[in-house]
Amino acid sequence: MERRAFLKIAGGVAAGLGLTGIVTVKPARATPAEMQEAIRAVVGSARITPGKVKLELPPLIENGNAVPLTVTVDSPMTEAEHVRVVHVFTEKNPQPYVVSFHLGPRAGRARVSTRMRLADSQNVVAVCQLSDGSLWSDSAAVVVTLAACLEDGI
Amino acid sequence: MASALINVPARAKRGEIIEIKTLISHVMETGFRRTQVGAVIPRNIIRRFVCSYNGAEVFSADLHPAMSANPFIVFSTIATESGTLAFEWTGDNGFSVKETAAITVE
């Protein structure tokens, strides 16, 4: 067989097998608008006021697979006045949801830490609901060098 | 090694706010990654974490794929009485881990 003919057939076979491993298929990412929709879907249509919540994230992170975050809410955490729930959302991860923490007067203080994934440099938003039903939020911008979620599979 | 690590102070004064750190071994596969041949790796995450103090729930969390592998959660509670703190993680594919920690309140 001539070299040219062989290459033609080999190329056709490779395409037919669907060897798409080289081309990374990226999932659709959530957008800031989708994040707003997600926030509304979770907390309802009540007014969200910036303040009371403090979302701490490093401004620059090397590895998006484990980004430390701390949410603190200015609340006395008593039976009459406490934080009911804290939600965390992202703009550009495949899904806008990250985590929801359910607290109560027995928490003593409204401070929770965890680690999250970030697929891109983006804004992260924390929304908290107090026992009186009011909603408060804070956001933080993070620059990510190595993104999570979308790296090549196994 | 146990799959979960929990850090609770063994002794506390009544009314003191204690910090609880929990770490559990889990891949937290997002369901968005693909293998080299393009097949989606199915989602496998922990969806819920609950902490109870002598049977009463004091803290819980709903987790999503955007949580890091080996979820690490730090929270606090008020030391009210001696007893046990129970921790439970539940997730996809019937994942369920329960751990307890004893605390003495003076």
Q: Which domain holds residue B88?
A: 4-105
Count of residues making up chain B: 106
Q: Which residue of A has its CA nearest to B40?
A: A153
A67 close to A57: Cβ distance less than 8 angstroms: yes
Classify burial at A140, counting beta carbons within 10 Å of its beta carbon; exposed 0-12, middle 13-18, buried 19 or more.
middle
Amino acid at A139: S
Tokens at A121, concatenated:
């440099």
Is B7 in CB contact (< 8 Å) with chain A?
no
Residues of A in contact with B53 (CB under 8 A): 106
Q: What is the 3-state secondary structure (H, E, C) of chain B?
A: CCCEEEECCCEECCCCEEEEEEEECCCCECCCCECCCCCECCCECEEEEEEEECCEEEEEEEECCCECCCCEEEEEEECCCCEEEEEEEEEHHHCEEEEEEEEEEC
Average pLDDT, chain B: 93
Best residue of B68, B70, B73, B89 to probe chain A, by most A CBs closer than 10 Å:
B68
Phi-psi region of A108 (alpha: psi -120 to 50; beta: other; left: phi over 0): left
Chain B segment 44-103 residues within 8 A of A by beta carbon are 53, 56, 58-69, 71-78, 80
Strand order in the sheet with A53-56: A53-56, A67-73, A111-116, B72-78, B17-24, B4-7
Indicate if the pLDDT at residue B93 is higher than 70: yes
Question: Which pLDDT score, from 0 to 100, does residue A20 have?
Answer: 44
pTM of the model: 0.84
Domain boundaries, chain A: 28-146
How remote is the C-alpha of B17 from its chain's centroid? Answer: 19
Q: Which residue of A has its CA nearest to B35?
A: A153
Q: Would you call B68 and A104 a contact, using CB atoms and an 8 Å cutoff?
A: no
Question: Which pLDDT score, from 0 to 100, does residue A30 have?
Answer: 77
Amino acid at A4: R
Question: Which pLDDT score, from 0 to 100, does residue B1 have?
Answer: 45
Q: How many domains does chain B have?
A: 1
Question: Which pLDDT score, from 0 to 100, does residue A19 have?
Answer: 46
Partner residue opposite A99 with nearest CB, options B61, B74, B76: B61
Q: Which residues of A sit within 8 Å Cβ distance of B? A: 18-21, 24-25, 27, 65-67, 90, 93-95, 97-104, 106-109, 111-118, 148-154
Per-residue pLDDT 10s for chain A (154 aa) are 566 666 666 665 555 554 444 444 455 677 888 899 999 999 988 899 999 999 999 999 999 999 999 999 999 999 999 999 999 999 999 999 999 999 999 999 999 999 999 998 999 999 999 999 999 999 999 999 888 755 555 5
CATH number for the domain running over A28-146: 2.60.40.2470
Q: Is the ipTM of this complex over 0.90?
A: yes
Phi, psi of A33, rounded to the nearest 5 degrees: -65, -40
Separation of alpha carbons B94 and B97, rounded Å:
10
Question: Which pLDDT score, from 0 to 100, does residue A141 have?
Answer: 94
Query: What's the whole-number mean pLDDT along residues B13-23?
Result: 95
Amino acid at A84: R
Question: Which pLDDT score, from 0 to 100, does residue A22 have?
Answer: 47
Question: Which pLDDT score, from 0 to 100, does residue A21 have?
Answer: 45
Question: Which pLDDT score, from 0 to 100, does residue A148 have?
Answer: 75
Separation of alpha carbons A71 and A137, rounded Å:
10
Residue percentage of chain B with pLDDT more than 70:
98
Question: Which pLDDT score, from 0 to 100, does residue A152 have?
Answer: 53
Within 13 Å of residue B60, how many CA atoms lie on the same side as its CB? Answer: 11
Residue B29 C-alpha, separation from nearest chain A C-alpha, in angstroms: 9
Q: Which CATH number fits the domain that encloses residue B76?
A: 2.60.40.10
A124 close to A55: Cβ distance less than 8 angstroms: yes
B34 close to A25: Cβ distance less than 8 angstroms: yes
